[in-house]
Amino acid sequence: MFLFQKHSSTRAIRRTMTTELLGVLCLLMTFFSSAIPPQECPSSLLQSGQVNDLALLAETVSWPSTSQERVRGMCGEYVNTYEKQGKYDTLLRVYTNNNTRHTIFSFRPTQQTSEGGDIHNERKLSACRFLNDSCYGMVNDRFQQAFLSLVEDLDDEFFDTIRSYDVSTVGHSLGGSLQLFMAVYLSEMWNIQPSYVLGFAGPFIGDEVFTQTYIDPLKESIPETMWQIETVDINNLQNFDGTAESYNVNNGEGTPNWGALPFNPLSPFAPFVPQESTIKTPIFIDEEDICSVHVTPLPDSYGMHDLKNYRLGFQGTECSSSFSP
């Protein structure tokens, strides 16, 4: 009897170990086989002087040392016409180029915050409400709170004024997510279609219902100029950012096992969340909305997530009289 119990216990342990090993292998295969962005960014994007300026404005809003009221770009001078510090230490700046009749909404990436104030803590999806009562689907809760705090002072007069301008949205990292909110907000609430919607390493913001209702139609209307962009090391294709693809949420039930792996193989700058039963709702990702730019990373950069590496891929000089694509 004892011998039978011993053999049964041994078989159970072996089955458990085999199952766990297969699970880990499948997880790693998923990470390393499907995470690289599926397509390179269009050449029209890489060669555009206007996109070069958008990358410059994304950098300008990112660091206090580059917080100028006026920014000189390839396509003229951009004047800071609106600035708002929002919840979770977010920041929105609106720049206007009167030469090209252009208005750009630029959002800052994640900043160091006080304990408990990190926008990436307590990740969960909540009902979409930034489009008033007509909003469908669910979005990242803290991202939505931050976005609403950034646009609360923008009134009818402001949006009526920018209707005569080309309008674009841009941001890096967290800013790349907030600019997606802005693009949907402009389109749905004010009937203003942006010319460019560019997120440099911007995680996606909502579930499948939200994405199919708002993101997909907007992408169909401007297919060449709306992208969440990733960097890939041209000399080592396994070295890439991956932030947009790796961002998940814990829907308020249970605690993610942060120690499952020592780092996120997709991006050391995007916290790793394992696919466990506690992870109820992943952010919905449509690979057709992601494009990659291949660069040789700068030796003084902190990794592929660094905006300096993104800017290497956007050195275009072609500026048109109108910003419209």
Instruction: Please name the amino acid found at residue 153.
Output: D
Which residue, 214, 219, 293, 283, is CA-closest to 251?
Answer: 283
DSSP 267: -
- How confident is residue 6, by pLDDT bands cut at 50, 70 and 90? very low
- Give the helix ranges, DSSP H, for 85-201: 141-151, 156-162, 174-190
pLDDT for 321: 52
By the 8 A CB rule, do 87 and 113 touch? no
pLDDT for 192: 97
The per-residue pLDDT of the chain, averaged, comes to 79
Backbone angles phi, psi at 16, to 5 degrees: -65, -45
Angle between helices 141-151 and 174-190 (to 10 degrees): 60
By the 8 A CB rule, do 250 and 220 touch? no
DSSP letters of 306-317? -HHHHHHT----
Q: Which of 18-27, 53-62, 178-187, 307-316 has the highest mean pLDDT?
A: 178-187
Q: Which residue has the tokens 């910003």?
A: 323
Give per-residue pLDDT as tens, 29-69: 333 334 555 689 999 999 999 999 999 999 999 876 555 78
Instruction: Judge whether residue 98 has pLDDT over 80.
Output: yes
Give per-residue pLDDT as tens, 262-319: 333 344 443 333 333 233 456 777 788 999 999 999 999 999 999 999 999 998 888 8
Kindly list the structural domains of the chain, giving each domain's residue range(s) and its CATH number in brackets, ordered by start.
Answer: 35-312 (3.40.50)
DSSP letters of 26-38? HHHHHHHHH-S-S
Instruction: Judge whether residue 20 has pLDDT over 60.
Output: no
Which residue, 251, 148, 103, is CA-closest to 93?
Answer: 103
Instruction: Please name the amino acid found at residue 113.
Output: T
Q: Which residues fall within 8 angstroms of residue 113, CB to CB, at 6 or more apart? A: 88, 89, 119
pLDDT for 264: 38
